[in-house]
Chains A and B, each alone.
Chain A
Amino acid sequence: MSVSALARETVQTPRFRWLPVLGWLGGAVLGGVLLFAAYGKALDPGAFAEQITAEGLALLFPARAWAVALIAVEVGLGLALVINLRHRPVLIAATALVLLFVFLTGRTYWRAAHGIAPPSASCGCFGNLVERSPAQAFWQDLLLLVPPLVLAWFARPRPKRLGVKLGATGMATGAAALFATLSPGLPLDDLATRLKPGARLSELCVGADEARVCLAGAVPEIAAGRHWVVLVDPDATDFPALVDRLNVHALARREPPASALADITPERQTELFWRYAPAFDLHETPAALLRPLYRALPRSFLVEEGRVVQTWRGLAPELDRPAPKPN
């Protein structure tokens, strides 16, 4: 959109001809951030729904419904701001959304600083794609969202081509809701998570400074050599069946060996041994490290010398072979 076009759309005084541009720029930056954030969340609405539940926001409706609705609203507002639809209702909604995000990240930051939340807790505002500490999340949100929001309120434009813009915004909102609903079933795990071919275990990390933990350090057993690795949920109803299949692989001594990673305590690990007798290594992995690596469990990957070679949704076909027939 050109400066002259912006000026024509805007109620202005001759002294402040740059205000419409500044206002649109603020709106566009804020809109861009909202669209990027919505993209990350739409790829993995399940993780966003978990975050909504953890924040205590899943009121009246299921968290998944809130997640889809918020993603759709974020896309609608983001697009509206980018196309300069800076009308009062849009800006009020955008302000409410920004205040909500800043409040949530600020609360998490405060909790982490006071030892109430783990230091690696993250708002999940950008889905699994961006790794942020509570402090980073708060300050980034404050700096990325608040200044452009303030600017977006300056020199709001006259209603021009309102129907077209509203139509485009409405369609984008609907498309976002549809995509967020369908995306868990789409083969987008590599796109939506940090675990993808080429990723190094030493770069899959969480936390900052001395509290930084990387997968290579948390599970050094898989950092060298060739391994099948399965991310598992021991509380899932299909976990016993999964153990049986991994046991077949382990007991047949097939190569490479298989390991499983789960967010468990040593006590739970012992309990799982007594209950299911896994013949493979079941490693304790911190939830904060594990969560950005999957959209749904189980998820498998093949790792060679600390580098992810291939990923699979569910169990890798090589791990799902029947037991060899006795001679």
Chain B
Amino acid sequence: MNRSRRPSLSNALHSAALLSWMFAAPFEATAQGVPADAVFRGFEPNGDFVLIVNGKESPKAEIFYSESARSYLILASELASPVLVNAPASTVETIDLMKVARQVDGTIDLLADATLSPSGKYQIREADIVFEVGGKTLQLKPRPYMLGSLTGAELLASSLSYQKTAKNYAPDAGILKRLKGQREKVRVLTFFGSWCPHCKRHLPLLLKVEQGLAGSNFAFEYYGLPRPFDGEPEAEKHKISGVPTAILFLGEKEIGRIPATQWSNPEVALDLQLNGPGRSNAR
């Protein structure tokens, strides 16, 4: 990756290019050459932060994260060009818009010949970072916790990361078919924390299972807890000691729970709770 200063184009030109890029249909990076530097590939949608530009939240900003680069890529109409926040170097760089390739799976790669223009170092203010780009003050701030009752659709809409994880998860089709045959109405109440890394990884899997069980006798509800959740009335009422925890109800009666350790395949855990040993088989 070539890291050098280069003359920037006008902001207007960049904004127009950025907007056209953002609304353009996804294209394959292979059409423009596979990135030589694997580090700056695979930026995934990330819902952990909100972007503040000159003190005002940018609700439509897209933020991506690359685990291999440990860097965030920010795309926003307020910015003249995409911004790379590079945590290992504590630096901020801008990238030529045309060197940013959106993949069909929603991830982003930087092309091999992309040039990164330094914009200085970021400052850390507790969990936020603040930096200057193109005369604007930008701030990446952790997204506020999602609290209270939420639907699966609301959760999915709230996070690109949830959407991508859910999209990539393939629940066991046989088990889904069996669960769809459930005769009695089952309510699945899931307590989670949007701040909890384990929930971030596993809650989208249940969201995908919910989609797979659409039209069945399952009703899914979600409840976001604060941190810490000691004393939270709903958490106390349902004796929640860890998140995520899903509680299964037949009518008003609790018939089982999926504790934090059984979320690798939520449909399997649901099936076990409903149809496991000693449980009346409703099929």
Contacts and interface: CB of A to CB of B under 8 A. Distances in A.
B142 interface: yes
A266 interface: yes
A220 B70 contact: no
B251 interface: no
A218 B242 contact: yes
Nearest to B48: A270
A283 B197 contact: yes
Contacts of B124: 271, 274-275
Contacts of B48: 270
A200 to B, nearest CB: 12
A213 B242 contact: yes
B159 to A, nearest CB: 15
Contacts of A277: 70, 87-88, 90
Interface residues of A, number: 29
B127 A270 contact: yes
A267 interface: yes
B241 A213 contact: yes
B198 to A, nearest CB: 6
Contact of B261 (A220, A274, A279, A283): A220
Given A217-B261, A220-B263, A273 B87 contact: yes
Interface string B212-246: 00000000000000010001000000011110000
Contacts of A115: 231
**Interface size range on B against A:** 20 to 34
A271 B197 contact: no
A271 B260 contact: no
Given A210-B241, A274-B129, A279 B70 contact: yes
B261 A216 contact: yes
Contact of A210 (B129, B142, B198, B239): B239
Most chain A beta carbons < 10 A, residue from B90, B242, B259, B261: B261
A321 interface: no
A71 to B, nearest CB: 34
A279 B67 CA distance: 7
Interface in B84-110: 87-88, 90
B122 interface: yes
Interface string A273-310: 11101110101100000000000000000000000000
A223 B261 contact: yes
B268 to A, nearest CB: 14
Interface of B: 48, 67, 70, 87-88, 90, 122, 124, 126-127, 129, 142, 195-198, 227, 231, 239-242, 259-261, 263-264
28 contacts: A115-B231, A207-B241, A210-B239, A211-B241, A213-B241, A213-B242, A217-B259, A217-B261, A218-B260, A220-B198, A224-B264, A265-B227, A266-B127, A266-B195, A266-B196, A268-B127, A270-B127, A273-B70, A273-B87, A274-B87, A274-B122, A274-B127, A275-B90, A275-B124, A277-B87, A279-B67, A281-B197, A283-B197
Interface of A: 115, 207, 210-213, 216-221, 223-224, 265-268, 270-271, 273-275, 277-279, 281, 283-284
